Amino acid sequence: MAKKYVGQRMTRTEDPRLLTGQALFVDDVEIHGMLYAAFLRSDYAHARIRSIDVSAARSRPGVVAVYTAEDLGDFWQHGPPLVPAPHSVEGVIFHSRTQVPLAKDKTRYVGEAIAVVFAESRYIAEDALEDIVADLEPLEVAADLEEALEPDAPLVHEDVGSNLASHLIQDKGDYAAAREKADLVIKRRIVIDRGAAGAMENRGVVAHWDEKAQHLTVWDTTQAPIPVRNGLAQILGLSEHQIRVIAPFVGGAFGPKIMMFLAEEFLVPWGAMQLNRPIKWIEDRRENFFATTQERGQIHDAEIALTSDGHILGVSHEFLHDTGAYNPYGLTIPLNTQSHSMGAYDIPNYHSELRVVFTNKMITTPVRGAGRPQGIFLMERLLDLAAKELDIDRIEIRKRNFIPPDAFPYNHRIIDQAFASLVFDSGNYLPALEKAADMIGYEKFVKEEQPRLRAEGRHVGIGIVSFVETTGVGPYEGSRVTVEASGKISVATGVGTQGQGHFTSFAQIVADQLGVSPRDVRLVTGDTSEFHWGTGTFASRGSVVAANAIHAAAKSVRAKILKLASKVLETPEEELELVDGLVRVADIPQQSISLGELAVMANPLRGAVEPGTEPGLESTDYYGPQYGAVASGTHAMIMEVDPETMMVEIKRYVAVEDCGTMLNPLIVEGQVHGGVALGIGNSYYEQLIYDENGQLLNASLADYLIPTAFEVPRIEVGHEETRSPLNELGSKGAGEAGCIPVPALFAQTLEDALADYAIEILETPMSPNKLFELLQAVKK
């Protein structure tokens, strides 16, 4: 059947609702009798709780209840680990410590909730917070990643005996042997930090317990409504079917909204049941910096070994990863870093020793990129340094090391975040590199324009880096597709939507199979009453896993349609086609029946049905990939730096991405733009600044600088399409690609722009301050 909609740049079905302010976000939910929650959060990064006196808060008019850990009784429990320890690697050390709803005995990070107030308004609830007298005895703080591992460091979890949360070694081949044979070994310390997701909508939870119906409805800004439902059922002792979790329109997520069962997700539903009143909690921006997870630092001591003609023999790195005060998300981020530390290259020997460290700071969980930018930064920096030393052009050295297109599937033989062998399913990296170089005019710039500009005294640099991105990971997703009596199609899937355009791109898939317009496909995502099997939106998997489940379900329905229509129209299935909402006989268009009529026939009110048939034209199907599909690409940019003010201006930015089959190129471009913007923030403007006492010093948008329309340039997007063999659509994920190579690109371009200063950038993010210091330290 000819492809009609998949691949088209369709405008989005959901836009009119969003544009006119008619879309429901969590804070828009209003229920009669609703109470509002506010949380008292620790001001100390590490403190013993001596006492908490809530009596004054309880007696404030308008306050309905105040709870501390003591008041929760048996309900107080550690949250579930969201990602378990890796079983398949020998000798792993992993201490699981998960967060609690309200701190008991001691607080472990600034922002940890110690009490909750439920009141008639948020204003009163916040007033009541100030009535609470919390007597906290400050303890020594483990704030620095390296110091936290010293023998006399203050312990975040005394029972662990140290702050080492996990230790894991991965080996591919024999790096030590490879090193011996190398013509060049480069060793550097590379320091990487990321930041907050900074979604424009902060988190929120609304819970409504209907005592008479014995049913709980929860609206939640979550990326994973189904696991939240299942977790709540366990926690609250309800049946899963007594709970409906709805992820409505969500104002951006970027990772942290998949962290589950922080204080609020526990206590708001629980409170609603306790008090028999609906409860709303909406995070404010300042709280978001303290109470929502983020990504933070890694320190790598790394080495690369090469031959004199630039072939990489091996890469080795020891690194520390900051998990914060708890580690519910397991090793996902640092495993991703390992998966990406070999970049797009064919590297026979790899050694990685990972230590995950507990610190007295907020928990770290994936933020768009989820450990991948760190791996790519490491690899691309090492390669750039090698290129300089060996005097090989940076495009050339990449070409020499790319995994060749005939080497796929390529097994890296280390484990990935899904605890399976890291296998790259497909890829063809050279075309993207060449296209990017071509689009930005690399040759001409380097040979003609740059020398001319430099002669004028300007500091303009060009950069080009390649990257890979593991996407589309399992375990699975599902979907139900139904033809309704109206002839319109109804689709449900478990993943949530936070701006990626699922309502449109997924409808395009169904439209192709069923011969309808995507506008006639009503899609529901993120509502557990519509679909309750699945995991969520994360790791750039919607367009792979959910999409293929939808594709499978649509195909199944198509088969049912053809089977029934064949009987009704008395024509063999091969001679039938689905067009414009009809099933018709090819070449005899007058012989047709509409999908709606067929749907009614498939669900008779009277008469007998054939044994073994299912009613209606509906199917539920699942898709679970064997392993993740790997996307890739190359980004390039031209940037000017003012070595007096340290301000930068990106003159041109090119992003060539290869995410396999694109469901909707318009949406893919939007994802690339947004990812690059976040990447620019992560490269030069954003950093969460903590002091030695674990105090976050820039917890506001005035001090945490999210890029504006001035900092993000026009991005020229190019596409390559290497279909994934792992799924019928041939798709790979595209949600995170934009941000992954940016810090590496920034570093390379800055170095090039300031070539006369001969600096080495071994740290990300850079900033005007840091650049200034680097320049001061180096003589021209």
Partner 1 sequence: MKLKGEYIFNGPREKVWELVRDPEVLATALPGTQSLNQVSENEYEGEMHVRVGPVAGVFSGRVVASDEVPPESYTLMVEGKGAPGFAKGTGHVQLMDQGDGTTLMKYEGEMQIGGRIASVGQRLMDSASKSMIRQGLETLNKALETRVAKFEGQEDAEYKPPSEAEFAAAVAKDMAGEMLSSSQMLWIAVAVVIVVVIVAVIWFSRGGG
Partner 2 sequence: MDDLFTVTVTVNGTQYERTVEPRLLLSDFLRHELGLTGTHVGCEHGVCGACTILFDGQPVRSCLMFAVQANGHEILTVEGLGTMDNLHPLQEAFRETHAVQCGFCTPGILMSLLPFLEENPNPTEEEIREAISGNLCRCTGYQHIVDAVKLSAEKMGA
Closer Cβ to partner 2, 144 or 287, answer by number: 287
Q: What's the rounded Cα separation, in Å, for the pair 528 and 224? A: 10
Binding letters toward partner 2, positions 255-284, x by CB under 8 A: -----------------------------x
Closer Cβ to partner 1, 67 or 289, answer by number: 289
User: What single-letter DSSP state applies at residue 448?
Assistant: I
Using CB under 8 A, count the residues that bind partner 1: 21
Residue range at the interface with partner 2 (CB under 8 A); choices 89-97, 245-253, 439-447, 600-608? 245-253
**Pick from 745, 728, 766: which is nearest to 676 by CA?**
745
Closer Cβ to partner 2, 17 or 770, answer by number: 17
Assess contact for 222 and 190: CB atoms under 8 A: no
Strands 629-641 and 459-471: antiparallel
Give least dist CB 10 to partner 2, A: 9
Q: What's the rounded Cα separation, in Å, for the pair 80 and 75? A: 13
Q: Helix %, strand %, coil % for the chain, to 5?
A: 30, 25, 40
What the block records as the tokens of 363 is 């928990």
Binding letters toward partner 2, positions 72-111, x by CB under 8 A: ----------------------------------------
Binding letters toward partner 2, positions 369-408, x by CB under 8 A: ----------------------------------------
Q: What's the rounded Cα separation, in Å, for the pair 191 and 214? A: 52
Q: List the interface residues with partner 2, window 672-701 (CB under 8 A).
A: 673-678, 700-701
Q: What's the rounded Cα separation, in Å, for the pair 184 and 342? A: 17
Give least dist CB 709 to partner 2, A: 4
Assess contact for 723 and 426: CB atoms under 8 A: yes
User: What single-letter DSSP state applies at residue 319?
Assistant: E
What the block records as the tokens of 149 is 């591992």
Give least dist CB 200 to partner 2, A: 4
Closer Cβ to partner 2, 714 or 780, answer by number: 714
Query: Does 147 help bind partner 1 (rule: CB under 8 A)?
Result: no
The residue within the footprint of partner 1, chosen from 10, 63, 83, 129 (CB under 8 A), is 129
Binding letters toward partner 1, positions 675-704, x by CB under 8 A: --------------x-x-x-xxxxxx-xx-
Closer Cβ to partner 1, 287 or 416, answer by number: 287
**Pick from 597, 571, 598: which is nearest to 585 by CA?**
571
In the β-sheet with 477-483, what is the strand arrangement from edge to edge?
Answer: 521-525, 489-493, 477-483, 617-623
The residue within the footprint of partner 2, chosen from 151, 702, 779, 780 (CB under 8 A), is 702
Assess contact for 302 and 265: CB atoms under 8 A: no
Q: Name the amino acid, one letter, at 376.
A: I
Assess contact for 397 and 306: CB atoms under 8 A: no
Query: Does 289 help bind partner 1 (rule: CB under 8 A)?
Result: yes
Q: What's the rounded Cα separation, in Å, for the pair 571 and 586? A: 10
**b/e sequence 204-214, b meaning 16+ C-beta within 10 Å:** bbbbbbeeeee
Residue 693 partner contact from partner 1, partner 2, none using kind-dependent CB cut-offs of 5 to 8 Å? partner 1
The residue within the footprint of partner 1, chosen from 5, 36, 44, 627 (CB under 8 A), is 44
**b/e sequence 161-192, b meaning 16+ C-beta within 10 Å:** ebbbbbebebbbeebeebbeebeebbebebeb
Closer Cβ to partner 2, 310 or 743, answer by number: 743
Q: List the interface residues with partner 1, window 335-394 (CB under 8 A).
A: none
Give least dist CB 49 to partner 2, A: 29
Query: Does 498 help bind partner 2 (rule: CB under 8 A)?
Result: yes
Query: Does 706 help bind partner 2 (rule: CB under 8 A)?
Result: yes
**Pick from 690, 678, 673: which is nearest to 746 by CA?**
678
Query: Does 43 help bind partner 1 (rule: CB under 8 A)?
Result: yes
Closer Cβ to partner 1, 289 or 623, answer by number: 289
Using CB under 8 A, count the residues that bind partner 2: 57
Question: Helix, strand, or coil here: 438?
Answer: helix
Q: Name the amino acid, one letter, at 773.
A: E
Where on the chain is the footprint of partner 2 (CB under 8 A)? Answer: 11-12, 14-25, 27-28, 30, 123, 197-202, 249-252, 254, 284-286, 498-501, 666-667, 669-670, 673-678, 700-702, 706, 708-710, 712, 714-715, 738
Where on the chain is the footprint of partner 1 (CB under 8 A)? Answer: 43-45, 110, 129-130, 138, 286, 289-290, 689, 691, 693, 695-700, 702-703
